[in-house]
Amino acid sequence: DTGVSQDPRHKITKRGQNVTFRCDPISEHNRLYWYRQTLGQGPEFLTYFQNEAQLEKSRLLSDRFSAERPKGSFSTLEIQRTEQGDSAMYLCASSPRDSNTEAFFGQGTRLTVV
């Protein structure tokens, strides 16, 4: 499968624990996005990388959230001290170098905080 892959697919964690998700974009896609989606809502932007540079971070993103893309390939999203309100589907998407083309989504990581 040469699409965007995310790991894990599902994560159940206790409130207060830290979690880390991984996204592997399509090879040679230089743009990588993280979105969060809750039931019945559209994907909500979290952060965006072009190569290894984090170019934008949502104002809605608390300091408990951090993302990296150290070598411009895969990316990780970490949530520290999880809260029940963090329960959601976390989607990763990647786009190629060209201006404004399709964002390809991964299957997401569903986080449940209990």
Q: Please identify which residue in 103, 109, 111, 113 interacts with other proteins, judged by CB under 8 A.
A: 103
Question: CA 88, CA 77: separation in Å to the nearest integer?
Answer: 13
- Positions in 21-50 near other proteins (CB under 8 A): 31, 33, 40-45, 48, 50
Q: Which stretch binds other proteins (CB under 8 A): 15-23, 60-68, 71-79, 96-104?
A: 96-104
List of residues contacting other proteins (CB under 8 A): 31, 33, 40-45, 48, 50, 56, 91, 93, 99-100, 102-108
